[in-house]
Structure 1
Amino acid sequence: MSTININNYSILNMKTSILVTFLCISISIYAQEGKMVDNDQQFLDFLENSLESDTVNDETAKNFHQRSMAYWKEHIYDYNLHPEKYDIALSLFYQNQQKYKQNNSIKIDRYKDVIDNFCRFDNRNTLAKNPILFIGSSSIVHWETSLAFPEFPIINRGFGGASLPEIIHYYDDIIKKHSPSIMVVYCDIDIERGKSPREAVNSFKELVSKVKKDFPKTQIILLSMKPTLIDDFLGKDVHRNKIITNTKLSEYCNDEKNLHYIDITNPMLKSDDSLRSDIFLSDGMHLNPLGYTLWNPVVREEIAALTKQKE
């Protein structure tokens, strides 16, 4: 077992994360309706009027989320450079988020077509035995793992904006059938959709428990949840809850055999500990090719160590 602290890529080919998809749809609809993105004062006035309004229904909620996301999308980079400029707007935004709450429930089989495609591919090809299996949400989907780690037998089974319950739901199809020697897991969608650190960690534990039961010798690597440029727009506690969850995951790995934690946050930060903006796609959430080059070395180092350990 080990804990690694790090010191200081692919164009999106599908709409994978529900959160990012919502951002894009909101902005495009707003543009199609011929409305310009608010300037700062217009957005503040809108937020105040929304709070004072007695009308809360699907239409007003839709208008709030579309208009707000259009504004934040326009101000992602400036916000991350000068967050203090947006204190009032962010406070009003959070109050409105509580008033115009969204339904964050998911349909557990929403990615059935993706899983079916995996199964068809597996049935048509001879895959590596006892591979290094990458599992998780969109950060795994867009990671060109076979190119990043050509020296290892990689299978990538990341899908959509998968939550941990969805990964567990499809466990037999994406994990068990492959009998992995090493499994790399990344998933932050549960926290980004409003779940608590306790709920997220419990889901990680459930997944680990299933793997350990079927494959007691498999080494499992849990990657920390990355910060993004839009964490604060997803919800008031998203950034804080990612930090709490990462701490709990690290502690969990320290107490478990064959379980390893890798902190992939530090290389994403500048010398003043602020988040680099040049490592993200325009959505402010997904990594671009440069971003993955920051993750690759430390993940390679851990995989290499675990592979050597098995020899």
Structure 2
Amino acid sequence: MKHLFLFLLTLVAFPFSYAQQAPFQDEINQFKQQDEQHFPPKNAILFVGSSSFRMWNDVQSYFPGYTIINRGFGGSTLPDVIRYAPDIIFPYHPKQIVIYCGDNDLASSDTVTAKTVFERFKTLFTMIRQKQPNVSVVFVAIKPSPSREQLMPKMKQANILIQQFLKTKPHTAFADVFTPMLNDAGKPRKELFREDMLHMKPAGYAIWQKALQPYLLK
């Protein structure tokens, strides 16, 4: 009985503390700890988004001569990036922000449409421009992966909507990685992917490097 009382007292004192923790909070905390030890330089190029960036551990080696901050995390969606923008975007005052996200949004639910992804991106873009009106923003096209081939029509439409939107905004670019990752039959090139057919091998990142290089600011 005594143990039960102590357990109930703990629940009252710390109500749902674990259940209320936001997704990916641990990874964000790790970024903050890294920043406390060695804060990145201002005017760098910030890569932010989901696991395709998170797993690009050697991204700096692909872009010698540029200062890259990689803040890809988890299997994040655009709402996750929006949630953590005050933690992993705005403090760095980057001169350029490169975004890869939307892939997991479409995979999260059948109710998420290309327009949903587009509206979420516009929300993030607006937040960024309110804080840094002249910052350069590059969106990396949602990639076609074999494990999510069924989502390719939505991916194509989301990419088109975002690309058309960015054409109307100054200091922006759209890096098309979608097209060069397809074979002659219009299918995702399996040789670019790891066993999970979702995350990329170095050959995939080589395509991304080629697509991004022309848009990065020196």
* TM-score normalised by length of structure 1: 0.60
Q: CA RMSD in A?
A: 1.4
Question: Is 1:146–1:154's contact at 8 Å kept on the other side of the alignment?
Answer: yes
Letter in 2 for 1:165: P
Q: How far off its partner does 1:272 sit? A: 3.5
Size of the alignment, in residue pairs? 195
Q: Which has the higher contact order (CA 8 A, sep 6+)?
A: 1
Write the mapping of 1:1-311 to structure 2, written as runs, cut at 5 A. Answer: 109-143=22-56, 144-187=58-101, 188-194=103-109, 195-232=112-149, 238-303=151-216, 306-307=217-218
For structure 2, the 5+ residue unaligned runs are 1-19
Residues 1-40 of structure 1: CA deviation (Å, up to 9, x unaligned): xxxxxxxxxxxxxxxxxxxxxxxxxxxxxxxxxxxxxxxx
Per-residue deviation, residues 237-288 of structure 1 (Å, max 9, x unmatched):
x221111101101111111122211110122122343321110000011111
Quickly say closer, same or farther: Cα 1:108–1:222, change in 2 above 3 A: farther
Q: In percent, how many aligned pairs have the same letter?
A: 29
8 Å CA contact 2:144, 2:182 repeated in 1: no
**Contact 1:128/1:154 (8 A) holds in 2:** no
2:188 and 2:78 map into 1 onto residues whose CA distance is 26
Deviations 1:105-132 (A, max 9, x none): xx88111110000000001014121110
Q: Which has the larger radius of gyration?
A: 1
SS of equivalent to 2:125 = helix
> 1: distance between equivalents of 2:145 and 2:185?
16
Ranges of 4+ aligned residues in structure 1 off by more than 6 Å: none
Q: Helix, strand or coil for the counterpart of 2:146?
A: coil
Contact 1:108 1:169 survives alignment (8 Å): no
Contact 1:221 1:262 survives alignment (8 Å) = yes
- Separation in structure 2 between the aligned mates of residue 126 and residue 189 of structure 1, nearest angstrom: 29
Q: 1:228 & 1:250 partners in 2: Cα distance?
A: 20
Moved more, 138-147 or 278-287: 138-147
